[in-house]
Chain A
Amino acid sequence: MSIERKFQTAAYVLFIAVIFAAPVFGDEFWLNRISKYLVYGMLGVAIALTWGYAGILNLGQGLFFGLGAYMLAMSLKLSSPTSLQQGSDKPVPDFMLWNAEPGAPTQLCCINKGSFLWLPFQSQSVGLVLGIVLPVVIAGALGMLVFRKRISGVFVSIITLALVLLVRLIMVDAQPVTNGFNGLTDLGWLTIGGIEFDPYSRATYYLCAVCLSLTLIGARLIVETRAGMILQAIRDDQVRARYLGFDVSLYQVFFFVISAGIAGVAGMLYVVVAEFASPTFMDLSFSVTMVVWAAVGGRSSLLGACIGAILINMIEAEVSETEALVEAWKAIIGLIFVLVVLFMPRGLGGLAHDVLRQFIRRLKPGAASSSLQQQSEAL
């Protein structure tokens, strides 16, 4: 193991140790807020995986996040007390009855044309399973269509962008079933194996922390497998990889699907922490914002993108409590973004990498050869 690898491993261990130790330092409101940032960190990893390692800039990651969120939110909506008090012996979402025609039945099967879609969500595990299965299936189908046709670069970005906006519009238009612009609010708590995940509890925080840690470690391991190496080769020169006999599209689809799965889980966790699901998850600006986090943190560094997401959100929360800066903060983000793209294209992660390399070179001149080797791998 080279020194550089040791430092990288140390960085992962340190980061995971910090997020597990964090609950010591704050009250429950602080915990709830940090839980959200950890969820955003997962999105950062998902973006880095496709953008940094596969070279696919997905401008519609919010689609997978939103689908995960809505699937679990539908289940949690049906398990909330308000859904039980709607004049039916089975739970019914309150908004559905408000919007129903007078005299409509109060059974989920037939309040309106689409209400039967909610029937399976009476079981919480259906929401949990669909929250990851649906993003994965859709990403798989989309990936097969797009990458088999060798569509690449900006056209993938345009397709994903159009798709997330398309789904968002449909969700908004299907007001009777999805509550349209208002989204799903007033949700119950997630319950797994007798543990209730109160959004302001340590249990929920640790749920997010464990999920983020597993995501980070899993993503790290997977990019270091043979498949991950081939993927990076594809990113760097797709045509050459194809001539070497690799099934390029298969690798791209595989990593696209994994990234979608992570985003789906992140969406579910967000619902548990924030207790709502809204069409804004599928706004273009949210999907682009994720890309901003990853770019600032370092698109080709999984940990960097994750820390970038957490850091930007922490600073944003601090700044937006200073009244004069609430509006200016957005402008500052815009400026940071332009500067990062211009002068630091590899983000904070790339910067850390360079500093580390300098440090190692000074520490031990003999290590220069191995770091050179690393460099050629990185390029």
Chain B
Amino acid sequence: MLDILFIGLSLGSILLLVALGLAITYGAMGVINMAHGEMVMIGAYVAVLSGIWLKASLLLAIPLAFVVTALLGLLIERVVVRRLYGRLLDTLLATWGIAILLQQAVRLEFGLSFFGIHVEGLGAGLQNVAVPSYLQGTFRLASADINAYRTFIIVVTAVLTLATWFILYRTAAGMQVRAIIRNPKMAAACGIDVKRVNAMTFAFGSGLAGVAGVMMSGFKTVFPDMGTTMVVDGFMVVVTGGVGSLFGTILSSGLLGEINALVAIGTNDILARAVVFGVVILVILVKPSGLFSFKGR
């Protein structure tokens, strides 16, 4: 039983890493970023490429992926999202277009394949990333076999969640973000540079997704389309938890992760996902504002 709960916890932490970024961009900026899953995908490809080209281990890929995806997020915000504030459903559509572009960019090796140039590690094929030996294997804890890599995922998630919490609740920049979440117009009137803070928030959220991608690459195959399911799952978590609530996002990712693991053990993976979707639909129907929403905008 303990090992099932543990698997649920590790599923939940991947979900949380994906959802954290979505939660802060959606909550703070009113932007639905459908390209968020592609940030996960690109994070995973950073792990693949840094392994091939730099011979770097998974650990080094984490900061690398954060920087790459954060910069990419910044670019997307500057070029597209910035023009769409206040048009919620349009942000959903435009970022879906960006998601397709990014998928195809990876599949076409950034377009270089048209010139007959092959970038090793990119393309339509499947990729794998080697997990360092000290993260492989299991250890025993209270009569349950605990997988070392899953523990690693949970630890990384915990550290990043704490960092996010610290930035949001203990720094001046976080104060500005929270002010914008509550009331963007009032925040602007108080002299907060909403545009700048929004761009930073978007970049930070994207960076978190990139790290989630590195984590994913350790136990799943990496391929150009892997982002779509991630963004759907991430959204389910955000909506279930309550938009704009960090606490809600954490709890609902844990909840959905555990439900997934428990049903999967009892039946199969497909039904487990179906049950998760069912639970999310029920939650929205019963509490449209999510389980842990606060009264905000």
Contact = CB atoms under 8 A, between A and B. Distances in A.
A and B associate:
yes
Given A165-B277, A342-B80, A334 B285 contact: no
B270 A173 contact: yes
A355 interface: no
A279 B74 CA distance: 37
A342 B274 contact: no
Interface stretch (A70-78, A148-156, A270-278): A148-156
B84 A166 contact: no
Interface string B72-96: 0000000010011001111011101
B285 A159 contact: yes
A3 interface: no
A223 B15 CA distance: 42
B108 A170 contact: no
Interface majority SS (helix, strand, loop, mixed), chain A = helix
Name the interface size band of chain B: 35 or more
Contact of B239 (A149, A155, A165, A336): A155
B97 A335 contact: yes
Nearest to A158: B239
A217 interface: no
Contacts of A157: 89, 92
B276 to A, nearest CB: 9
Given A169-B271, A173-B274, A337-B93, A331 B98 contact: no
A302 B208 CA distance: 41
A133 B164 CA distance: 49
Interface stretch (B1-9, B99-107, B175-183, B215-223): B99-107
B236 interface: yes
A166 B100 contact: no
B80 A155 contact: no
Given A155-B284, A334-B100, A170 B274 contact: yes
Contacts of A173: 268, 270-271, 274
Interface stretch (A18-26, A92-100, A322-330): A322-330
A173 B108 CA distance: 33
B280 interface: yes
19 contacts: A57-B89, A154-B88, A159-B284, A162-B236, A162-B281, A166-B278, A169-B273, A172-B270, A173-B274, A291-B93, A330-B103, A333-B100, A334-B98, A334-B100, A338-B94, A338-B98, A342-B84, A342-B94, A345-B87
Interface of A: 57, 145-146, 149-151, 153-155, 157-159, 161-163, 165-166, 169-170, 172-173, 284-285, 288, 291-292, 295, 324, 327-328, 330-331, 333-338, 341-342, 345
User: What are the nearest 6 A-B pairs in CB distance?
Assistant: A334-B100, A337-B97, A331-B104, A338-B97, A166-B277, A334-B101
